[in-house]
């Protein structure tokens, strides 16, 4: 099943794709939908599939948006790190989220704008101290993000938060695909293209900590809840480690794809 969220007037509404139409739920986003245990059997109303900026992030106000750093062997190696013993965790705040078709408008504070395509887990049920089976059951589905990173701000201090949380800099979507439709362990191609040229490509089979392992690890110390997001890290091929570095420029088209989930398509705009 493919779930998403559409902008309708001043509000938003969760939907599922059904053929070439959509069935709309009485929930403001996929996060709110998933917080209802019987969401699969809720009443729906038929409508059009949203296009363009009417398609918003599946989860618009996650209570948690946890990100994992250094979680592909090739990316850890390219930034000079060995494979980690523990996942590196940091967060994004809801204001950092933007839609799968929106422009990413950045203030004139930095020119070091880099890409990071990431498979992202959407939590479907509350879970604490999960074993493997409970962790797998807590996964409602998978979506795509690009953890667009402002590298000089990320490096200003030991903590990466400020380089990862510029307003509306992180596209999320286009859909949440349920685990019965895709097998992340078997390997889904994950790719960033800039102006049609592949800059970053990997396979989700190369994750150091798998989605289930991440949920087990994180749920040791905190409770995961419906609608929480866990971005699982980016494969090799980021821009800042190139010689010379390669960053995004005004007008660049950033396309982020995971096989079986879909493509984020966002144009970079620099404010003057």
As measured in angstroms, the least distance from the Cβ of 156 to a second copy is 4
Q: Does 7 bind a second copy (CB under 8 A)?
A: no
Nearest to 169 by CA among 120, 232, 104, 229: 104
Using the minimum distance from each CB to a second copy, give the nearer residue, 152 or 252: 152
Burial class (CB in 10 A: 0-12, 13-18, 19+), 161: middle
Number of residues assigned to the chain? 272
Among 15, 25, 39, 90, binds a second copy (CB under 8 A): 90
Q: Which stretch binds a second copy (CB under 8 A): 39-47, 48-56, 62-70, 134-142?
A: 62-70
For a second copy (CB under 8 A), the number of binding residues is 38
Is 80 within 8 Å of 154 (Cβ atoms)? no
Task: Assess 11 for contact with a second copy (CB under 8 A).
Answer: no
Q: Does 105 bind a second copy (CB under 8 A)?
A: no
Nearer to a second copy, 121 or 188 (CB): 121
- Does 36 bind a second copy (CB under 8 A)? Our answer is no
By beta-carbon proximity to a second copy, the closer residue of 2 and 168 is: 168
Strand partners, 157: none
**Burial bucket for residue 176 (CB in 10 Å: 0-12, 13-18, 19+):** buried
| Sign of the torsion formed by the C-alpha atoms of 145, 146, 148 and 149 | positive
28 binds a second copy (CB under 8 A): no
Q: Which of 145, 150, 176, 177 binds a second copy (CB under 8 A)?
A: 150
Residues in 155-214 that interact with a second copy by CB under 8 A: 156-162, 165-167
CB 33 within 8 A of CB 27: yes
- Member of 35, 44, 88, 203 binding a second copy (CB under 8 A): 88
How many angstroms separate the CA atoms of 126 and 204, rounded?
A: 25
Candidates 66, 140, 194, 238: give the one binding a second copy (CB under 8 A).
Answer: 66
């Amino acid at each position: 099943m493919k779930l998403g969220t559409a902008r309708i007037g001043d509000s938003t509404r969760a939907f599922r794709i059904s053929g070439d139409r959509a069935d709309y739920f009485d929930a403001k986003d996929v996060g709110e939908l998933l917080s209802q245990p019987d969401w699969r059997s809720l009443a729906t109303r038929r409508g059009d599939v949203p296009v363009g900026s009417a398609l918003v992030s599946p989860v618009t106000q996650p209570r948690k948006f946890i990100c994992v750093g250094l979680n592909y062997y090739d990316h850890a190696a390219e930034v000079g790190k060995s494979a980690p013993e523990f996942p590196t965790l940091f967060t994004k705040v809801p204001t950092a989220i933007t839609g799968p078709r929106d422009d990413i408008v950045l203030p004139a504070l930095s020119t070091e704008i880099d890409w990071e395509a990431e498979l992202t887990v959407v939590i479907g049920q509350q879970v604490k101290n999960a074993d493997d089976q409970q962790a797998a059951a807590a996964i409602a589905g998978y979506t795509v993000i690009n953890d667009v990173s402002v590298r000089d701000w990320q490096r200003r201090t030991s903590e990466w938060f400020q380089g990862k949380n510029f307003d509306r800099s992180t596209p999320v979507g286009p859909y949440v695909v349920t685990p019965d439709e895709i097998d992340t362990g078997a390997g889904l191609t994950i790719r960033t293209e800039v102006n049609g040229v592949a800059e970053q490509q990997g396979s989700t089979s190369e994750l150091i900590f798998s989605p289930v392992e991440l949920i087990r690890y994180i749920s040791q110390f905190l409770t995961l809840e419906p609608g929480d997001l866990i971005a699982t890290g980016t494969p090799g091929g980021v821009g800042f480690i190139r010689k010379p570095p390669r960053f995004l420029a005004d007008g660049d088209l950033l396309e982020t794809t995971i096989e079986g989930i879909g493509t984020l398509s966002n144009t970079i705009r620099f404010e003057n």
